[in-house]
Amino acid sequence: MSRLMVSVSGIRGVVGDTFTPPVIQKYVAAFGKIMGKKIVVGRDSRVTGSMVEHLVIGTLNAIGCDVSIIGICPTPTVQLAVENLHADGGIAITASHNPIEWNALKLIDPDGLFLDEESSAAIVAGADSTGPEYVTWDKIGRCEEYPYAIRDHKEAIFNLPYVDVPALRKRRFRVALDCVNGAGAVFLPEFLRDLGCEVVELNTVPNGMFPHTPEPVPENLTGLINVVKSNSVDVAFAVDPDSDRLAILSEKGEPLVEEYTLALAVKFFLAKKPGTVVVNASTTRAIDDIVHSFGEKVIRTKVGEVHVAKRIREEHAVIGGEGNGGVILPDVHLGRDAPVAVALTLQHLLEFGKPISELRAGLPQYVIVKKKIKIGRSNPDEILAGIKENHEYEQLDLIDGVKINREKSWLQLRKSNTEPIIRVFAEAPTREQAEAESSELFAEVKKLIISSCKS
């Protein structure tokens, strides 16, 4: 049996295993009871999405909540709709980058942010109590469809003063696009055409049948790489199933690596609007180099969109995000947003006037290696404690897991919010150094897992 993942990243599980109708209903009922009367519901295109959507809407109605249904759309579209419709909360039905058998509930507060630890704990406590409190027939909630959420999201981006829509339309970029048959398919092809782009489409049917592993990392983008190499394009984009993360490929079909989606956005944006930048503890040092070159400050948080978003709000930061391809632009809303990242990238490319491969070459050069190891029933906190003890004489950052800061490199070990795994990161100036240091840490983790299984 798989593990139900409950965190600030939502309620995630394998459908029919840990993510079942009773589980869905108890968490949705607790959410509706705590958040209030009006809830926005949207989803990605997963094959289980319709089933989960009906359960979510029915449960909310049954406890007296009114529901605004916005259908298949990116998660950031749901977040923005919560704000625009002045709702009490929202639910995005998506397991993001997880495999096809997974689904999840991403829970959103009235400000369009995901729930933080305190609010999530309250939902869990409510779900584990006596059960849903259903209302009588005359107090059942109502449903209404809101068909303008995607339009509203596009307009919010088009209205940004530093996105020159007429100039982009005149330039007519040729763009390759892989939406992995996810929610981005109902947004990005038309969005790009609205910006004057000629679009070479790959996997843009929103049927939820992922043609490859859905996380937008280089090893999963061979199809898009081949499309770029067989077509003359200026840039290529790939998104995950709920379109909050963006990966970029050059005109040569070379992945820029997801860390550099945010790096490009930060470099472009600080030239327009100087200010503080907030990123998570796992994000590339390239961000620090870029931000410091503008004389500005970088603040780091725990991994998890809500941690970054809340700190952006507290610090009045101008931009932020996570190194997994997630760009947060508070001028639009406080959530990771692939369409926003697409618009900023195209505008950056327009103003740069040269190929994106040259734009990437002008950024600070680091190589980050990301690995993950399944931990089974091992206690991840015990493994983290073991690594901390092994490296107690090094410079440690414990804001999220265990991060080992060295002069020219860093390593990090942290438990995942979305999968029953431990993540191992290493960044260095060269791939050889990053691979070597990550392999050493990976071996340490395996020894600790084996030791915990024996005890």
What positions carry a catalytic annotation?
Answer: 96
Which tokens in the block code for residue 52? 């989960």
Q: What CA–CA distance (Å, rounded) separates 29 from 64?
A: 10
66-72/143-145 β-pairing:
parallel
Closest CA to 277 of 345, 217, 342, 323: 323
Work out whether the CA dihedral 228, 230, 231, 232 comes out positive or negative: positive
Sign of CA dihedral 436, 440, 443, 449: negative
Residue reference for tokens 């191992």: 424
| Joined tokens for residue 421 | 């795994």
Q: Return the beta strands (E) in 86-206 as ranges.
A: 89-93, 102-108, 143-145, 174-178, 198-202
Check the CA dihedral 339-96-34-136 and report its sign.
positive
Q: State how far the Cα of 203 lies from the Cα of 211, in Å rounded to an integer.
A: 7
Q: Which segments of 100-180 does DSSP mark as H helices, in order? A: 117-127, 149-158, 165-171
How far is residue 440's CA from residue 450's CA, in Å, rounded to a whole number? Answer: 16
Q: How many helices (H) and strands (E) does the chain have?
A: 15, 20
Sign of CA dihedral 58, 63, 68, 74: negative
Nearest to 364 by CA among 263, 286, 273: 286
